[in-house]
Amino acid sequence: MIKFLDLQKINLVHQEEIEKRILDTFRSGWYLLGNEAKNFEDNLANYIGAKHAIGVANGLDALRLILRAYIELGIMQKGDEIIVPANTYIASVLAISDNGLVPVLVEPDNNTFNIDSAKIEEKITPKTKGIMIVHLYGRVIFSQELKNLAEKYQLKTIEDNAQAIGAQYEGVNTGNLGDASGFSFYPGKNLGALGDAGAVTTNDEELAKTIRALANYGSNQKYVNTFQGLNSRLDEIQAAALDVKLKYIDAENQRRKDIARRYISEIKNPDIILPELPKDEKEHVWHLFVIRTQEREKLQNFFTENGVQTLIHYPIPPHKQGAYQEMNHLSFPITEKIHDEVLSLPISPVMTDEDVSHIIGIINKI
């Protein structure tokens, strides 16, 4: 059986190093707000090229905390609007509504699956304070046009970089393209922890300080609370494991790129739409390899019968979820069609060439 993502295999590649660092952490007796988190934050900031990195408990919190910090700093207030892609994982939208901000959804580009920059301006109102861009499936969404728009309307650009660590746009890493960026280190992400973990990167010192305090009960100094904060910290054990894996992220992303290139050149099936290979291969780290077909159920069943696990990212768009009844009446036809047609094929740094050939063989046969 070819698993969708073999997490055991992915982590066992680094077994010796990870076990040593975790054991050292265990024996140190220091489990929170210590050297491991500090060290990982420094290395992450350095890798991204950003001035600050703040470890937090998960990716949703990373995004929630960025927006909450903008509210605490008086840059945003409850009721303000944030532009966000309609075609995203619901966490991007949750981070906005959780802060009493209003998510304003924008349709994606049909080829890249990412927000259609040409459709943003018509959604901007005097209440718009930010754009949350989501580098969905690992593909960068950024352009001069987007940058100009944010400048013209004085909007904060927040990156949801949960899926695209290691991707670059014109030499700049995702996580350093906007004003602040949220990362998820959920185990299945390209840089995955051994449980929940996340981070924020930014070049804005004031914002970084505010987020660090907010994630620690609103305090930068023990027992002195400046904000009504929460508890959302990256623990030492997760930081230790992540710090080991960060060293290998570029090599692991490269393997994903090689597999994606093979899929794109060798899959030949007229009923399947393949994802687009960006002109600059640095713009995609292939967190997910997502194909489209009107025969999704049939194809997924055929894969299952042939021992290949596939998944759907995602079956129901945020605006059609029970959680957002106030948006259920909205119509986003491109988003809805994508959700009806997408199927994710296995892609990971530990897949063998034979695994890839097997999958290509199946898809070319149906």
Residues that bind ligand PLP (CB under 6 A): 58-60, 88-89, 91-92, 134, 160, 162-163, 184, 186, 196, 198
- How many CA atoms, within 13 angstroms, populate the side-chain half-sphere of residue 193? 27
Q: Which helix (H) or strand (E) holds 341?
A: helix 333-341
* Closer Cβ to ligand PLP, 169 or 272, answer by number: 169
* Closer Cβ to ligand PLP, 182 or 346, answer by number: 182
Note whether 246 and 21 are within 8 A (CB): no
Distances (CA, A) of 117 to 11, 88, 101, 109, 174: 37, 15, 21, 8, 17
Query: Which residue's CB comes closest to ligand PLP?
Result: 59
* Closer Cβ to ligand PLP, 181 or 216, answer by number: 181
* Closer Cβ to ligand PLP, 89 or 142, answer by number: 89
* Closer Cβ to ligand PLP, 176 or 238, answer by number: 238
Q: How far is the CB of 91 from ligand PLP (least distance, A)?
A: 3
CB-CB neighbours of 300 under 10 Å:
17
Q: How far is the CB of 197 from ligand PLP (least distance, A)?
A: 7
Q: How far is the CB of 222 from ligand PLP (least distance, A)?
A: 27
- How many CA atoms, within 13 angstroms, populate the side-chain half-sphere of residue 249? 26
| Rounded-to-integer distance, Cα 101 and Cα 127, Å | 10
Q: How far is the CB of 162 from ligand PLP (least distance, A)?
A: 3
CA angle 227, 228, 232 (to 5 degrees): 100
